[in-house]
Chains A and B, each alone.
Chain A
Amino acid sequence: MSKHFVSAIVNGDEVEFRCDSGETLLDVLRTKLYLTGTKNGCGTGDCGACTVLMNGRAINSCLVLGAECSDMSIETIEGMAVGGELHPLQQKFLDHAALQCGVCTPGILNMAKALLKENSNPSETEVRFGLAGNLCRCTGYDKIVRAVMDAAAEMRARRT
């Protein structure tokens, strides 16, 4: 079976990879690019653990094929902190103890980042619905919601 040759931008870097037609972006990230920060919780788009940004939009990377990523810009958790400085969302997740086991955290951080891009001042309800596609079994969501709202406030303050 012939493979697809794909060149894309991942976390700002140009990358090239070959993949089978059936290989997902999640497979490519984890097994070809060794970016294992993106997690596989279900493989069917139900848990959100594999959420990454594709041209700025949050997607389940288990539902996108590697072959679809030509010339796309992908942002994963490994690219969220810049130059040794944590993104406000990452910092607020630590400050609010918004993670326990941490396996859903990369996906939730990416989803929250996309959410705050669309809505810089979300209500609690908007955060809850914005994150409704991301399962967390440890925290009961309370501290996650607080962390996202606090990060939004911090990001608004930084802009002004």
Chain B
Amino acid sequence: MNEKRKNSTRSGSNFKWVGEVTPRPDGVDKVTGRARYGDDLKLPGMLHARVLRSPHAHAKIVSIDTSKASALEGVKGVVTYRDIPDHPLATPPYPPIIQDFHDLSRNVMARDKVLYDGHAVAAVAATSEAVAREAIKLIQVKYETLPHVLDPFEATLSDAPILHEYQFTEGADPDTSKPSNTFRTLSGERGNLVQGFSEADVIIEREFSSQPVHQGFIEPMACVASASEDGSVELWTSTQGHFVARGLLSKLLNLEISKLRVTASEIGGGFGAKTTIYGEPVAIRLSQKTGRPVRMTFTRSEVFRATGPAAGSRCRIKVGIKSDGTITAGDAEIWYQAGAFKGAPVGRALDTFFSPYNIKHIRAAAHDVCVNRPKVAAYRAPGAPMATWAMEAVLNEAADVIGIDPIDLRLRNAVKEGDTSLKGTKHGRIGLIEVLEATKNHAHYTAPLGRNEGRGFAVGYWLHGGGLSSASVILQDDGTVNVATGSPDIGGSRSSMRAMAAEELGIDVKLIKPIIADTGSLPYSYQTAGSRTTYATGMAVVNAARDVIDRLRALAATKWDIGVKDVRWDDGHAIPADKYEGEISPLSLKELAEVAMKMGGAIAGHSEINASGQGAAFCAQLVDVCVDPETGRVTPIRHTVIEDVGRAISPDYVEGQMQGGAVQGIGWALNEEYIYNENAQLQNTGFLDYRMPVASDVPMIDTVIVEVPNPNHPYGVRGVGEPPLVSAPAAVANAVENAIGTTMSHLPLTPPKILRAIGETIPEAAE
């Protein structure tokens, strides 16, 4: 085992708490079983809900008869699409989340058609889980099956079955008169491709494909809804954003926002999939109909069939390079499976292909295509990993062809401050060059390889999220502090919020207890998603702490009867100006907390912001794999992640994000995929057959934290969570290519594909 790593290039700092390892505030509850997740809330009289799901990939619903289920002893309520309000096409999107409520209503509960295996059709609430399970079997649904389509490219052909008769391609050229499975094609171009390719000495053109993969969080979706006769609703749910959930639910179900109070439970992983709603509206309707609290917890099979996944893809890419390594042109096109409703991450794909590089002539297009699969949800850097894989694979091949070191090739073309991405983002201070240099200087890059081993390299780009965040910093009368945010803590963000508040206030982290406030207790906060929380919510916490300090300075000034300008804050104390030295003694935060209760009242600081300026981040990975030529099995044996995070507030949890993203990428590249039968029914609906990496599949994951501080954040934060997944599948696939000496273009790289690639005969059982 490697020694605990000390190889980060973290800059020295004068901070006391920021960048230090401190005991995590929610840690003890999580190692003792106390922490309460979505399914851990029990309310008096609580009913248990179950959902009936479609066995068909595409069918008209002719009729639904729920009478037998309703009559079963113990069944208290049944809902179908009739209980979920419909919303007309082109309902204005609900800011700040862009969501088509016509689609959302139909995804929550199928209306006229079922569009994928697992599509919800009806639900019951009963006195026990067992009765609820029995009851859904008694619901009779008559279907008229329709032809289905699973592949995003096939879905665009003229004879493909059409999922939505009302959907016409936005911006289609030239024909928009016929309904289409393509919701829209986004494209962008700059320069002159013909000129760019004519300047190239080497042109490489390849095609790629990938299968949908699931976010694979361990805690299934779970919530408890409790509706009151007065129209108010309380909801406890496992979500990445309870304010967003509230917004979606209030609009979907016509509830007043102030009467819908949502509490975020502890969340057992989300990775993007818990940024939307699934069972919550159904649980609320069942609770409204029965007058009792209703628990809705999905089974693992429901999670696979009806939530997530990330889009599968088809992609083609063409890149031109001069023999000195200058990239002259790039042209890429990707077809993403949106699933049953539009919403594939096409914008991010477009922004990802060429963004690490300064290329004059580029064009990219991305198609958002509906197919008979569950509607895709965000998955850690949505849209980026597959586009990155295509570009990085081609660059690695080009480096081989022209005989240049692959990192030197990137360095020659790397984007810098002042460069502009295809989407139009003008970069501020960014750290790609620092990341590439740290990678090249790492011992891993030149370590010798053994027989059947190969090394892969890739770099990824992600434009972090900013957006709406709120925070309150509440000084309690004993001098301890609560920091309240509206951002669910998925991977240790409470630690970082606490560290930043402690740094500002000048007190020990032990005196600060961070909490996640419910939607009635704090203004709007966007989701924990897009690597935005430490940046945006952290900024709100810093602002709120500074607000507390301003109030404490004012309080001290009043008490001392001097001007507030003559009071400064330092190391947890209000300190009078030098001219009062000897006359007035400083007051500590704890002393001022007591003073406040006798003078002007309790002290708290607040901040509500719409953060911007988060900027871009880059993550490189080095991966060694060993390929068994007899079985085709690929074993990752060494893995290093190098990322510019701006500043690591909680370095141990920053490393954890880098390691976790890397291993998700290993799974994406080697094992994970949705497998359907000829009727488009999902075949691998459990963890045994949807094989995510286990501890014995992977090596230690080394990390190098690069810190090029972001000038727009008080502590230089960029973000960390998404980039490690952006470049991981590309690096793993590249390592396999290097080990077997041939290109691999279809993920996952399963043993049969490897054996075929190296010309081995494949045993029948492996096919």
Interface residues of A (CB under 8 A from B): 20, 22, 27, 30-31, 34-44, 46-47, 49, 76-78, 80-81, 86, 90, 93-94, 96-97, 99-106, 109, 124-125, 127-129, 131-146, 149
Give the chain A neighbours of B653 by CB distance below 8 A.
Answer: 97, 100
Indicate if the CB atoms of A94 and B31 lie closer than 8 Å: yes
Interface window among B398-406, B503-511, B548-556, B660-668: B660-668
Give the chain A neighbours of B701 by CB distance below 8 A.
Answer: 140, 142
CB distance from B386 to the nearest CB of A (A): 19
Residue of B with least CB distance to A90: B31
Q: Give 25 pairs: A residue, B residue, CB < 8 Å, sorted on A.
A: A37-B34, A39-B268, A47-B218, A77-B32, A80-B33, A90-B31, A97-B24, A99-B27, A100-B656, A100-B657, A101-B219, A103-B266, A103-B269, A106-B31, A106-B33, A128-B695, A129-B696, A132-B696, A135-B218, A136-B218, A137-B269, A138-B491, A141-B695, A142-B700, A146-B4
Indicate if the CB atoms of A135 and B269 lie closer than 8 Å: no
> Given known contacts A39-B37, A137-B269, A140-B701, is B491 in contact with A100 (CB within 8 Å)?
yes
With an 8 A cutoff between CB atoms, is B655 at the interface?
yes
B contact residues, range = 35 or more
Indicate if the CB atoms of A93 and B31 lie closer than 8 Å: yes
Q: How far is the CA of A38 from the CA of B219 in the complex (A)?
A: 12
Query: What 7 A-B pairs come out closest when comparing CB atoms?
Result: A37-B33, A103-B268, A102-B30, A140-B663, A140-B659, A77-B33, A46-B687
Indicate if the CB atoms of A101 and B656 lie closer than 8 Å: no
Q: How far is the CA of A44 from the CA of B341 in the complex (A)?
A: 30
Indicate if the CB atoms of A90 and B32 lie closer than 8 Å: yes
With an 8 A cutoff between CB atoms, is B72 at the interface?
no
Q: Which of B34, B40, B664, B696 contacts A128 (CB 8 A)?
A: B696
CB distance from A37 to the nearest CB of B (A): 2
Residue of B with least CB distance to A37: B33
With an 8 A cutoff between CB atoms, is B569 at the interface?
no
With an 8 A cutoff between CB atoms, is B271 at the interface?
yes
Indicate if the CB atoms of B31 and A105 lie closer than 8 Å: yes
Indicate if the CB atoms of A138 and B687 lie closer than 8 Å: no
Indicate if the CB atoms of B698 and A141 lie closer than 8 Å: yes
Q: Which of B30, B270, B698 contacts A99 (CB 8 A)?
A: B30
With an 8 A cutoff between CB atoms, is B447 at the interface?
no
Give the chain A neighbours of B129 by CB distance below 8 A.
Answer: 27
With an 8 A cutoff between CB atoms, is B652 at the interface?
yes
Give the chain A neighbours of B300 by CB distance below 8 A.
Answer: 41-44, 46-47
Indicate if the CB atoms of A46 and B217 lie closer than 8 Å: no
Q: Which of A41, A129, A131, A143 contacts B219 (CB 8 A)?
A: A41
With an 8 A cutoff between CB atoms, is B694 at the interface?
yes
Give the chain A neighbours of B662 by CB distance below 8 A.
Answer: 140
With an 8 A cutoff between CB atoms, is B86 at the interface?
no
Give the chain B neighbours of A146 by CB distance below 8 A.
Answer: 1, 4
Give the chain B neighbours of A139 by CB distance below 8 A.
Answer: 656, 659-660, 663
Residue of A with least CB distance to B702: A142
Indicate if the CB atoms of A81 and B659 lie closer than 8 Å: no
> Given known contacts A100-B490, A100-B491, A142-B701, is B42 in contact with A34 (CB within 8 Å)?
yes
CB distance from A128 to the nearest CB of B (A): 4
Indicate if the CB atoms of A137 and B216 lie closer than 8 Å: yes
Give the chain B neighbours of A30 by CB distance below 8 A.
Answer: 39
With an 8 A cutoff between CB atoms, is B212 at the interface?
no
Indicate if the CB atoms of A101 and B269 lie closer than 8 Å: yes
> Given known contacts A42-B300, A78-B33, A137-B218, is B700 in contact with A145 (CB within 8 Å)?
yes
Residue of A with least CB distance to B271: A137
Indicate if the CB atoms of A143 and B216 lie closer than 8 Å: no
Give the chain B neighbours of A101 by CB distance below 8 A.
Answer: 217-219, 266-270, 490-491
Q: How far is the CA of A81 from the CA of B281 in the complex (A)?
A: 39
Q: How far is the CA of A154 from the CA of B550 in the complex (A)?
A: 47
Within 8 A of A (CB), among B266-304: 266-271, 297, 299-300
Q: How far is the CA of A103 from the CA of B492 in the complex (A)?
A: 13
